[in-house]
Amino acid sequence: MTEHAVVIAGGGPTGLMLAGELALAGVDIAIVERRPTQDLPGSRAGGLHSRTIEVFDQRGIADRFLSEGQVAQVQGFAFNRLDISDFPTRHPYGLGLWQNHIERILAGWVGELAVRFYRGREVTGFAQDDTGVDVEVSDGRSLRAEYLVGCDGGRSVVRKAAGIEFPGWDPTISHLLAEVEVAEEPELGIRQDELGTHSFGRKEYEIRDDEIVYADGGPVGVMVTEQNVGSTSEPTLRDLSEALVTVYGTDYGIHSPTYITRFTDMSRQAASYREKRALLAGDAAHVHYPAGGQGLNTGVQDAINLGWKLAQVVNEISPPSLLDTYHAERHPVAARVLRNTMAQTALMRPADARLEALRETVAELLSMDEPRKRFGAMLSGLDIHYDLGEGHPLLGRRMPDLDLATADGPLRAFALLHDARPVLLNLGEPGGFDITPWADRVQMIDARYFGAWELPVLGAVTAPPAVLIRPDGHVAWVGDLTDPGLPDALTTWFGPPPPT
């Protein structure tokens, strides 16, 4: 039997990000992935949100994505665009970049780290005991691991085998999504009518002045609302043709599809993200309508939250109970995504006069500054606040990427996180706390910051004397170095000091 410290089922965006995080911490890690290569048929996610770009920046890989995508104001709530260009972040925008490119770039990064791939085979089940997990793989092999993480998408085998409930709401809307050739040119863009929301577009596009300008040629991407919800058969070209005729009166002579798929507004969330030694992340833990483009982003951020915690547990730095903070912190985040996507689908239904009045009311509200900021921060992930108790507004929120001054010269705060190691950042008088017991795992940096402290939505906050920053970029403690709470915070998040 082959052994790894952690096995990840599924090498989509979530599994890749998690593997990278674990590999950075020196964990022996393997991914079992059904697809023989990273190639992804179809388009799926269309880009990255501000906070995801930030977390890539924390690892020093944001430029790989930025150099291939198109920066734009992408945030939206039920067709209301939310401009975040005045937000206090180095990346006050989103990035248009198809999921196949996001996965290729992520896989390239993971390929530079020590990650074992078992491609072209599936996890079919698992059994766990007190010391580990036996993971069954479709090639007949069994992998032994200390932990198994299901990053295996909405139909997660790991979730089902772990017996984790997946409560939520059945679909009310169904769309066919396809990439095809056409004999007649359709009008490109989104159409909303009494039958639902539909669109034609080209995969290749440019964003100019925040407007999409499609390429002149190439395959056409089509999304059309189906009039029947709940179909379980694989969609065919004929289904697509019939749905198009119903909506547009013609199928534009569609032919030669590269893929046809179906997606719905089914909204479900795992009741628990952990069952002993089995954990869930990404679509395996939450599925919802793609309004606002939040799925991939939420999965990548699940991985960032879980990675360092699981690494510390496997490396015997922290007790397994640290893993419970993963569910406690991330479950509410996805619950909020489900809520906002359900609200958006309600607003996007075929309109009668009353719904139209509601849409106009929401549009009016979102054009006001405070709601724009709140919703923009929610949809971009910049307002995520883990409940770490009372205290300074930074506590539980993301550390801003400040331009620091150190004895060795200028330094960006995010550069301190490139290796996914925690940081005690002292912005006051140097000295005052001896970090020696944690020196093997926590970096101690003395620095100065002369600018304003500003957080999304909250605005200006008082300058903290020192902050303890977790590897995921969230602030675990704020105070000065004489604060008696600092050793407790270090122990809670980064394990007890080794026995002397």
Ligand X SMILES: Cc1cc2nc3c(=O)[nH]c(=O)nc-3n(C[C@H](O)[C@H](O)[C@H](O)COP(=O)(O)OP(=O)(O)OC[C@H]3O[C@@H](n4cnc5c(N)ncnc54)[C@H](O)[C@@H]3O)c2cc1C
CA distance linking residue 223 with residue 47, whole number of Å: 17
Instruction: State the nearest-atom distance from the C-beta of 137 to ligand X, in Å.
Output: 8
**Start-to-end C-alpha separation, the chain:** 37
With respect to ligand X, which residue has the nearer C-beta, 41 or 218? 41
Q: Return phi, psi of residue 323, to 5°.
A: -65, -25
Instruction: State the nearest-atom distance from the C-beta of 35 to ligand X, in Å.
Output: 5
Scan for tokens 């902050």, then name that residue: 467
Q: Using the Cα atoms of residue 23, residue 28, residue 31 and residue 37 in order, give the sign of their dihedral.
A: positive
Q: Is 348 helix (H, G, I), strand (E, B) or coil?
A: helix
With respect to ligand X, which residue has the nearer C-beta, 171 or 432? 171
Contact 59, 300 (CB under 8 A): no
With respect to ligand X, which residue has the nearer C-beta, 337 or 467? 337
Contact 89, 436 (CB under 8 A): no
Contact 1, 144 (CB under 8 A): yes
Q: Which two tokens stand for residue 243?
A: 């749905």
Instruction: State the nearest-atom distance from the C-beta of 281 to ligand X, in Å.
Output: 7
With respect to ligand X, which residue has the nearer C-beta, 11 or 196? 11
| AA identity, residue 210 | D
The residue ranges that bind ligand X (CB under 6 A) are 9-15, 32-35, 44-47, 99, 122-123, 151-153, 157, 177, 263, 282-283, 290, 293-297, 299
With respect to ligand X, which residue has the nearer C-beta, 75 or 426? 75
Instruction: State the nearest-atom distance from the C-beta of 106 to ligand X, in Å.
Output: 10
What are the Cα distances from residue 63, in Å, to 345, 413, 481? 34, 16, 35
Instruction: State the nearest-atom distance from the C-beta of 360 to ligand X, in Å.
Output: 26
Q: Return phi, psi of residue 427, to 5°.
A: -105, 0
- Partners of 424 in beta bridges: 444, 468
CB atoms within 10 A of CB 390: 6
Instruction: Determine the number of helices (DSSP H) and then strands (DSSP E) in the chain.
Output: 11, 31
Instruction: State the nearest-atom distance from the C-beta of 194 to ligand X, in Å.
Output: 22
With respect to ligand X, which residue has the nearer C-beta, 96 or 396? 96
Instruction: State the nearest-atom distance from the C-beta of 167 to ligand X, in Å.
Output: 19
With respect to ligand X, which residue has the nearer C-beta, 4 or 44? 44
